[in-house]
Amino acid sequence: MPTIDVHNHFIPMAAVDGARKGAGFDGLATEAVDGREWLVHRQGYRYPLARGFYDFDERLRSMDERRIDQAVMSISPTMFMYWTPGSEATEFCRQANDEMAAFGKASGGRLHPVAALPMQDPSLAVAELRRAVTDLGMRGAQIGPRVEGGWLDQGETRTVLDAAQDLGVPLMLHPYYIGSKPGLEDFYMTNLVGNPLETAVCATRLILSGLLDEMTGLSVVLMHGGGFLPYQVGRLDHGHKVRPEAKGCQHAPSSYLRRFWYDTITHAPQPLRFLVGLVGADNVVYGTDYPYDMAAGPLDGQLAGTGLPPDAVEKIAGANAAGLFRLLSA
């Protein structure tokens, strides 16, 4: 069974070229910092522009170096562009999806892209999801846990989830930000705390709203080990038992944990071992978050100290991802 990384990111070359000219989409630009190229968003967020984001050969070289056979490739969440006009975001997503599809075709079965969607306009997002899956052969989509303040269980956004269920493809939920989050500005907490919190809030809403009861065929992947959700599910169960506001789902919240898949990015063996014990090895998939500096390492390094048995390791390494994303060549 091949090793499959389901959590790694891509930035379109068109966006890089525009940024290098100082006129990138939504004000993207580049800067040189201590001899390294950084990508800068007009909202304030900046990060090293690693070649692996956009360079095909570098991506494959890095996969070989980290002993990764295949990868489910998704756009960088900084490129969701939910804050831009829907028509402009749609064109950006179409171009990005076309570029990712070209990477996939050129990779000889090693790269399997999932779509970027203009979620601020659900009708356009549904149309692009259908195009990406049926015309480009993409394996699903990656979306944010919220869309500029609105959560996935609210309003017309549900139609995108319904379309994914109809197409039989998974949705990967990845938190995003390009500016600061109130109360989390210091100590890099926007990422360290804000990202896992956002995932936990979204997943909790999918449970407590009853959406998972309605969409029984929806497949959802939670990044970064599910955020804080797995580690506070007992509190959700207690709230569901004693509070009328938390009774929107048919069963105890903990009974829905295996409706999700979780990547391995917990950065320590103890929480990863706890996660596998809680949700089962069948619901955990290998991820790295390449090429960000917050990325986790190769599979053997992530699993070191977990004490997981060989059959669980095989599932996490690639078998689960092959089934979830329908990677027939895996």
Q: pLDDT band for 247, please (50, 70, 90 cuts).
A: very high
pLDDT value of position 328: 67
**What percentage of the chain has pLDDT greater than the value 90?**
90
Give the strand pairing for 111-113 and 70-75.
Answer: parallel
Q: How many helices (H) and strands (E) does the chain have?
A: 13, 14
pLDDT of residue 329: 55
The residue ranges of every structural domain in the chain are 4-12+52-324
Write down the pLDDT at residue 181: 84
Q: State the alpha helices, DSSP H only, in 66-188.
A: 86-106, 122-134, 158-167
> Which strand (E) or helix (H) includes residue 206?
helix 194-208
How confident is the model over 270-317, as pLDDT tens digits? Answer: 999 999 999 999 999 999 999 999 999 899 999 999 999 999 999 999
The neighbour count for residue 21, using CB atoms within 10 Å, is: 11
Q: How confident is the model at residue 263 (pLDDT cuts 50, 70, 90)?
A: very high
Predicted pLDDT at 178: 86
Q: Which two tokens stand for residue 266?
A: 């917990």
Ranges 148-152, 165-169, 290-294, most confident: 165-169
Please give the pLDDT value at position 330: 52
Q: What is the pLDDT of residues 94-112, one digit of tens each?
A: 999 999 999 999 999 999 9
Grade residue 34 by pLDDT with cuts at 50, 70 and 90.
confident
Does the pLDDT value for residue 1 go beyond 80?
no
The architecture (CATH level 2) of 4-12+52-324 comes to Alpha-Beta Barrel (3.20)
Contacts of 227 (CB under 8 A, 6+ apart): 175, 195, 196, 197, 198, 199, 200, 203
pLDDT of residue 180: 80
User: Residue 210's pLDDT band (boundaries 50, 70, 90)?
Assistant: very high
Q: Looking at residues 41-55, what average pLDDT do you find?
A: 92
pLDDT for residue 3 is more than 70: yes
Strands (E), 94-248: 111-113, 115-116, 141-143, 146-147, 150-151, 171-173, 220-222
pTM: 0.93
Residue 22 pLDDT > 70: yes
Q: What is the pLDDT of residue 4?
A: 97
Mean pLDDT of 43-59: 93
Mean residue pLDDT of the chain comes to 95
Burial class (CB in 10 A: 0-12, 13-18, 19+), 43: middle
